Amino acid sequence: MKPSSSLSFHLLLLLLLPQLLMAEYAGGPYQKAPDDDGDKLDKHYYARSCPSFEAIVGSKIAHWHSVDPTLSPGLIRLHFHDCAVRGCDASILLDNPGGERRSPVSATLRGFHVIDDIKAEIERRCPKTVSCADILVAAARDATLMVGGPYWGNVYGRRDGRVSIAQQAEALPKGRESITHLIDFFESMGLDILDLVVLSGAHTVGRATCQSIQYRLYNYTGVPSKSDPSINPRYLNYLKRKCRWPSAYVDLDATTPTKFDNAYYRNLDNRMGLLSTDQLLHSDSRTGPLVAALSSQPMVFVHQFARSMKNLADTMVLEGDEGEIRTNCNFVNEY
């Protein structure tokens, strides 16, 4: 599909979604069987081999969220970083020199200890059965629920990869890219423009280090004391006060930072996107109309987020002999 026709298709879809949603909740024709896309992942994959898998993940995520609620956004991001490099194969968890986890792009990733804790409990109950890749998928879904986002049914059966290369993680978007670059990057993962705009809405929760946006505040494009003119002046003042050190944190969603809602898109209308890539989604002609639709229809965002997260979790999945079930998520098996 050409970009312009693909955009009108997505816009039409978004505009019609409220009606389609009603049909879906009424059990209407819009309902798509989860497994009718031909892959071998299955919602009942662990039904016999580890029936308590999802219950263990759910209770562990609830526990860690109560200890530190900021871990939940961290887990959603961890899942994205896993799937975006070599597919959803838990390669991000491998803790070897030269691996993705040791790349500078991964420096602020969080939640590794939560995955380790879940894996340890699952190995006690169902040894050598559940992949770390599936644990990440389930953990990201339950972390989304913890911050007030939607529930969706996952399919499972992914295998864990044996390869992790730091240099490949460098390709992950860092917040300074063009929209064309982001569209191409998402396309390389099998995701489309709608997925890009909707999944960027994950920035409705969580935080960034000031280092990631310092270049927008000072010496923008190399001009001393210049700031990115696309930032709302009052928001710019706030950011300058908040970001006195590169290691300080600032909320990705300036208005409702801990709540999963569509305020992220409404902030873009007010030129209050934290990352330049966030704000560009609003101004670019290919993504702007989708931002406008999502900022005016909160339920559409919530519903489409669940769909796009399922698409994300389908990225280049390993099955059967292509991968293994790691016993420790941090290392490949030795036997």
Looking at residues 266 to 285 of the shown chain, list those that interact with ligand HEM (rule: CB under 6 A). 275, 277
For residue 279, the surrounding DSSP H or E stretch is: helix 276-283
Among residues 207, 216, 266, 286, which is the contact residue for ligand HEM, using CB under 6 A? Answer: 207
Q: Which of 56, 33, 31 is nearest to 46 (CA)?
A: 56
State the nearest-atom distance from the C-beta of 278 to ligand HEM, in Å. Answer: 8
The answer to the question of residue 80 lying near ligand HEM (CB under 6 A) is yes
Considering just the CA atoms, what is the radius of gyration of the chain in Å?
20
The answer to the question of residue 234 lying near ligand HEM (CB under 6 A) is no
Rounded Cα distance between 81 and 74, Å, is: 11
| Of 81, 203, 282, 303, catalytic | 81
Rounded Cα distance between 88 and 227, Å, is: 37
Nearer to ligand HEM, 273 or 326 (CB): 273
* Amino acid residing at 104: P
Among residues 34, 69, 173, 288, which is the contact residue for ligand HEM, using CB under 6 A? Answer: 173
The answer to the question of residue 77 lying near ligand HEM (CB under 6 A) is yes
- Other CB atoms within 10 Å distance of the CB of residue 221: 8
The answer to the question of residue 52 lying near ligand HEM (CB under 6 A) is no
Q: What is the DSSP letter of 35?
A: T
The answer to the question of residue 199 lying near ligand HEM (CB under 6 A) is yes
The reply to whether 203 belongs to the active site is no
Rounded Cα distance between 153 and 42, Å, is: 10
The answer to the question of residue 73 lying near ligand HEM (CB under 6 A) is yes
Q: Tell me how far apart the 2 most distant CA atoms of the chain are, in Å.
A: 63
Instruction: Return the active site residues.
Output: 81
Q: Which residues bind ligand HEM (CB under 6 A)?
A: 70, 73-74, 76-77, 80, 108, 110, 173-175, 182, 196, 199-200, 202-203, 205-209, 212, 252, 275, 277
